[in-house]
Amino acid sequence: MTDTGPAPAPMASGRQGSATRTDGAGGVELRNVTKRFVTPTGAAMTAIRDVTLTVEPGQFCAVVGPTGCGKSTTLTLAAGLEMPSAGSVRVSGEPVTGITKGASFVFQSDALLPWKPVLDNVALGPMFRGMNKAEAKERARDWLRTVGLAGFEQHYPHQLSGGMRKRVSLAAALINEPSMLLMDEPFSALDVQTRAIMSNELLTLWDRQKPSVIFVTHDLEEAIGLADKVVVITAGPGTVKAEFEIDLPRPRGDVQSIRFNKRFLELYQQIWEALREEVDEAYARTSRTADRAQAAGGRV
Amino acid sequence: MSAEALSTGAGMAAASDEATLAAAARARVQKRKREVILGQVTVLFVIVAGWQVAALTGVIDPFFFGSPWGIVVRLYDWMLNGTAYGSFWLQIWVTLEESILGFIVGVVSGIICGVALGEIPYLADVFGPYIKIVNALPRIVLGSIFVMWLGLGLPSKVLLAAVLVFFVVFFNAFQGVRSVDRNLISNARILGASRLQVVRHVVFPSAMTWIIASLHVALGFSIIGAIVGEFLGSEKGLGLVIATAQNTFDANGVFGAMLVIGLLALSAEWVMAKLEKRLLAWQPKGNGDSTIQGL
């Protein structure tokens, strides 16, 4: 098994240019990054090993891989929440030493403060950066209108549906006009229809600001439908197995219907070939662990 | 046309059905409420009347067990003529003042220490064992020390109440800070929050749910602290009134003072419930509300 995997798909000419921000901010560069965690009992666990990954400014990069392969770790490194054990992480050309400037994060669970109304939640970003309260709220109001939630400003998060909360999360993340947007399985808790709608809206919003995006998901269709580039991570400790350029034209239009596109299916097949081995490997490992646990349990 | 009329007729019938159903449901709820209140009044009446009758007929000795009428007479006498240490209202006020001050001191210090230790793991590791040791001590006994140190006046009672309150609030604040959703903190940090902003906007409000839960217990403890402090040595207060009644075998006096303390605690609890409702207005209405009310 080689590290390069199947040959990358040929790049469509000209498309890359349209997706690039002119100011060059938001590019992410991970070089030979390894991250080890030390568990409370003192055992070391390698989450990712020797990951090299480049996301151009304004590029939409999806990261797929089996469960527990360290996809989320990659995001926390790019956000500056964690420091790499080895290797270097650079964002917008600067090495990451603390919380990355110009980054926003969208979590799987919506990280909204349940005790603040929606408007205050969205206004948090500008307020933390020193904008005065009234101005921050005014901008938050604009953003809520943009994501289609005008009239819900004074609702508490728990009064909204999952999809609406996700819109609030998006507004709260984008209001800081990030040059880099990090998304950790943002739509996986939504039902299928809401998910499709949110995917379309994400693309529309992304198109306005063109931040670079790292979008972690376990859903290959979602990855291909949204991204310029799909990166396959191996079973943990994760490392980059293969990268695929997605040369589907933009605007993608309806993410639901692009799945019937012939090129989409080709790409799906190629990437799935690369991903399947890793999924099988991860599954085999967990079942081995389960067997061992069972055997150990049997002895006791 | 006739079909349309039929369908609107059916719609109206359905609507009036809905209305009667709703009315019936309301009536059921009302009836149940009345039944509960009736039951509660009956229980109170049976106990009080039973006690009175038993005392009158000599089934129980009124000298040791008092009687409801005797308690009323004793309370009336106190209110009219005052106690041996000044007016009865003064005694109530002294105890109330000690409880409230103790409560405030204990809650504020408990929150500050709880949040600080929750936020700074090094402090938690260093102080953890000592706090557990102090918590394991029977803290009521500290009251004797405080009376020795601070004398018979107000400060010793305030301190005892504050110590009792402190630990309840402290442990809840600490636990509350520890159980804040990590994603919320990460998100705030990425959005640009400083450490202080994280504490103010994320950690503290999140821990507030825990802290408020502890305030009910803390309130009870603050009253206990004040009364016990007065028991151990004081010049005024309901605790002293009870101690004196005990020494003169005045059962009605003990019960009477107890009743007043109970009423104080109940009204404090009522204020606390109002406060809690205001502070936790953002929380979704749970199903748990009715059972809590029932208890």
Q: Taking chain B, what is the end-to-end CA distance rounded to the nearest angstrom? A: 58
Residue A253 has pLDDT above 80, yes or no: no
Q: How many helices (H) and strands (E) does chain B have?
A: 13, 0
Which whole number is the average pLDDT over A90-111? 88
Cis peptide before A251 (omega within 30 of 0): yes
Average pLDDT over residues B179-208: 91
Asked if the C-beta of B191 comes within 8 angstroms of chain A's C-beta atoms, the answer is yes
Q: What is the pLDDT of residue B39?
A: 96
- CA-nearest of A248, A239, A184 to A214 is A184
B282 touches chain A (CB under 8 A): yes
Whether the bond between A117 and the residue before it is cis, its omega within 30 degrees of 0, is no
Question: Would you say A299 and A292 are in contact if contact means Cβ atoms under 8 Å apart?
Answer: no
- Nearest CB to B282; choose among A76, A115, A128: A115
Residues A196, A190: Cα–Cα separation, whole Å: 9
B186 and chain A in contact, CB less than 8 A: yes
Q: Do B194 and A172 touch (CB under 8 A)?
A: no
* Cβ A211 vs Cβ A181: under 8 Å: yes
Between B84 and B87, name the one with better pLDDT.
B87
* CB crowding A141-173: b at 16 or more within 10 Å, else e: bebbebbebeebbeebbeebeebbbbbbbbbbb
User: Where does the pLDDT of residue A9 fall: very low under 50, low under 70, confident under 90, or very high at 90 and above?
Assistant: very low
Q: Which two tokens stand for residue B253?
A: 């006096």
The H or E element spanning position A244 is: strand A240-245
DSSP assignment of B171-187, as one string? HHHHHHHHTS-HHHHHH
Please indicate whether, in this complex, the C-beta atoms of A104 and B190 are within 8 angstroms of each other: yes
Cβ atoms of residues A30 and A257 within 8 Å = no
Task: Read off the tokens for B96.
Answer: 């109330």
Q: What is the average pLDDT across B115-132?
A: 91
Query: Which chain B residues are within 8 Å of A115, Cβ to Cβ?
Result: 205-206, 208, 282-283
Query: Does A286 map to a domain?
Result: yes
CATH number, domain containing residue A242? 3.40.50.300
Do the Cβ atoms of B201 and A113 come within 8 Å? yes
Which long-range CB contacts under 8 A does A256-263 form with residues at least 24 apart?
A256/A196, A258/A225, A259/A221, A259/A225
A184, containing H or E segment: strand A180-184
Tell whether B181 is within 8 A of chain A (Cβ): yes
The residue range of the domain holding A212 is 15-102+178-299
- Segment (H or E) for A212: strand A212-217
Would you say residue A154 lies in a domain?
no
The per-residue pLDDT for B173 is 93
Where does the pLDDT of residue A24 fall: very low under 50, low under 70, confident under 90, or very high at 90 and above? low
**Scanning every residue of chain A, which has its alpha carbon at the shortest distance from the alpha carbon of B281?**
A115
Q: Would you place residue B261 in the very low, low, confident or very high pLDDT band (cuts 50, 70, 90)?
A: very high
Query: Nearest to residue A49, comparing CAs of A30, A67, A32?
Result: A32
- Condensed to tens digits (0 to 9), the pLDDT of residues A194-208 reads 888 889 889 988 988
Confidence of residue A42 (pLDDT cuts 50, 70, 90): confident
In a domain, A51, yes or no: yes
Treating both helix axes as pointing N-terminal to C-terminal, what angle do B182-191 and A118-128 enclose, rounded to 10 degrees?
A: 50
Domains in chain A: how many in total?
1
With beta carbons less than 8 A apart as the criterion, state whether B83 and B241 touch.
yes
Which of A72, A76, A82, A107 to mutate: most B Cβ within 10 Å?
A107
Q: Which of A22-26, A266-270, B201-205, B238-242 shows the lowest mean pLDDT across its residues?
A: A22-26
Provide the whole-model pTM. 0.77
Mean per-residue pLDDT for B226-238?
90
Across the interface, whether the CB atoms of A81 and B194 are under 8 A apart is answered: no
Kindly provide the residue ranges of all beta strands, DSSP E only, lying in A28-74, ordered along the sequence: 28-38, 44-55, 60-64
At residue B176, the pLDDT reads 92
Residue closest to B174 by CA, chosen among B111, B104, B105: B111
Which residues from A are below 8 Å from B183, CB to CB? 107, 109, 111
A250 within a domain of the structure (yes/no): yes
Searching chain B, which residue's CA lies closest to the CA of residue A107? Answer: B183
Mean pLDDT of A243-249: 88
B284 to A158: CB separation less than 8 angstroms, yes or no? yes
Q: Does B192 touch chain A (CB under 8 A)?
A: yes
CA distance A264 to chain B (A): 34
Residue A46 located in a structural domain: yes
Please check whether residue A127 lies inside any domain of the structure.
no
Q: Which residue of B has its CA nearest to A128?
A: B193
Could you tell me which residue, A122 or A66, shows the higher pLDDT? A122
Pairing of strands A103-106, A180-184: parallel
Q: Please tell me the predicted confidence (pLDDT) of residue A188.
A: 87
- Cβ contacts of A169 within 8 Å, gap of 6 or more: A106, A107, A110, A111, A112, A186
> Are A79 and B190 in contact (CB < 8 Å)?
yes
| Residue B89: DSSP 8-state | H
Looking at CA atoms only, how far is residue B291 from chain A in angstroms?
Answer: 22
CA distance A175 to chain B (A): 10
ipTM of the predicted assembly exceeds 0.90: no
Let me know if residue A115 belongs to a domain: no
Q: Is residue A149 part of a domain?
A: no
pLDDT over threshold 80, residue A4: no
Q: What distance in Å separates the CA atoms of residue B292 and residue B33, rounded to the nearest whole number?
A: 16
Average pLDDT over every residue of B88-94? 92
| pLDDT for residue B286 is more than 80 | no
Distance from the A267 Cα atom to the nearest Cα atom in chain B, whole angstroms: 34
CA of residue A283 relative to chain centroid, distance: 23
Q: DSSP code of B210?
A: H
Q: What dihedral angle (degrees, nearest 10) is formed by the CA atoms of A87, A93, A96, A99? A: -150
Q: What's the pLDDT at B8?
A: 55
A→B interface, C-beta within 8 Å: 76, 79, 81, 99-100, 103-105, 107, 109, 111, 113-116, 124-125, 128-129, 156, 158-159, 172, 176
In this predicted structure, what is the pLDDT of residue B72?
Answer: 93
- Return the structure tokens found at A82: 């964690």
Q: What is the pLDDT of residues B199-215, one digit of tens each?
A: 999 999 999 989 998 99
